[in-house]
């Protein structure tokens, strides 16, 4: 009798619910934002104001992992040659400096190598100078450092002194026909660039 009553109760609950809703998942179409960049106009760097000691206008950071079985060899290489690299880069007098290679701790990986430049144009000038000094110790030492950088996930990021950017950096939209076609095919909106807000002078009324 108990089983029969329970069965009737279950049937009653089903009738009250009327329709059983089947679980479903909807595809979320996200907005493509790959075209939004913040970059100085014409790739130039503003003239520095009051400089901080040893603080370059531009910093290039290499981030990479080194195999653990090469740790000792890499760190020994840096111990023996890093000071020479810094001195030799400075002696080129092309607006470039070597800021050192650092090991991220705790953890033991990744490594970060820092290069400083006085302007964006100096990055290319340093590359040209390095090419011009292929037979020198600087080229050999930089090549020796790079020989340990075998990480396929190596990244190189450019940083610029934030204190030098007021009223200078603007947000721009870089056209990319491939991304445009992808957005059109997916039926997703693509973000539009908006001008960076400017500081208002005076007090609000």
Q: Which domains does the chain have, with CATH numbers?
A: 56-168 (3.30.70.100)
- pTM, to two decimals: 0.61
Please give the backbone phi and psi of residue 48, each rounded to the nearest 5 degrees, phi first.
-65, 145
Contact status, residue 117 vs residue 95, Cβ threshold 8 Å: yes
The whole-number pLDDT of residue 53 equals 56
Mean of per-residue pLDDT scores for the chain: 75
The mean per-residue pLDDT over the stretch 125-154 comes to: 89
- Among the ranges given (14-23, 34-43, 134-143), the one the predictor scored with the smallest mean pLDDT: 34-43
What is the C-alpha to C-alpha distance for residues 179 and 33, in angstroms, rounded to an integer? 9
User: What whole-number percentage of the chain has pLDDT above 90?
Assistant: 32
What is the C-alpha to C-alpha distance for residues 118 and 58, in angstroms, rounded to an integer? 6
What pLDDT, in 10s, does the model give residues 75-128? 999 999 999 999 999 999 999 999 999 999 887 788 999 999 988 889 899 999
Does position 195 have pLDDT exceeding 50, yes or no? no
* Element at 193 (helix H, strand E): none
- Among the ranges given (17-21, 90-94, 131-135, 169-173), the one the predictor scored with the smallest mean pLDDT: 169-173
According to DSSP, the residues that pair with 152 across neighbouring strands are none
Does position 188 have pLDDT exceeding 50, yes or no? yes
The whole-number pLDDT of residue 186 equals 56
Does position 175 have pLDDT exceeding 50, yes or no? yes
Contact status, residue 150 vs residue 109, Cβ threshold 8 Å: no
């Amino acid at each position: 009798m108990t089983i029969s009553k329970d069965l009737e109760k279950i049937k009653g609950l089903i009738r009250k619910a009327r329709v059983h809703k089947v679980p479903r998942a909807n595809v979320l179409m996200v907005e493509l934002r790959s075209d939004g960049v913040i970059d100085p106009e014409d790739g130039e760097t503003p003239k520095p104001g009051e400089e901080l000691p040893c603080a370059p206008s531009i910093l290039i950071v290499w981030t990479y992992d080194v195999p653990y079985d090469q740790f000792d060899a890499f760190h020994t290489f840096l111990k023996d040659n890093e000071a020479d690299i810094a001195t030799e880069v400075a002696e080129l007098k092309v607006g470039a400096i070597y800021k050192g290679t650092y090991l991220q701790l705790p953890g033991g990986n990744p490594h970060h190598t820092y290069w400083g430049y006085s302007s964006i144009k100096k990055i290319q000038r340093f590359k040209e100078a390095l090419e011009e000094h292929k037979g020198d110790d600087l080229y050999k030492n930089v090549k020796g450092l790079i020989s340990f950088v075998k990480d396929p996930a190596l990244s190189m990021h450019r940083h610029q002194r934030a204190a030098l950017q007021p009223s200078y950096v603007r947000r721009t939209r870089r056209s990319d026909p491939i991304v445009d076609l992808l957005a059109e095919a997916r039926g997703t909106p693509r973000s539009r660039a908006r001008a960076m807000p400017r500081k208002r002078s005076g007090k609000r009324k």
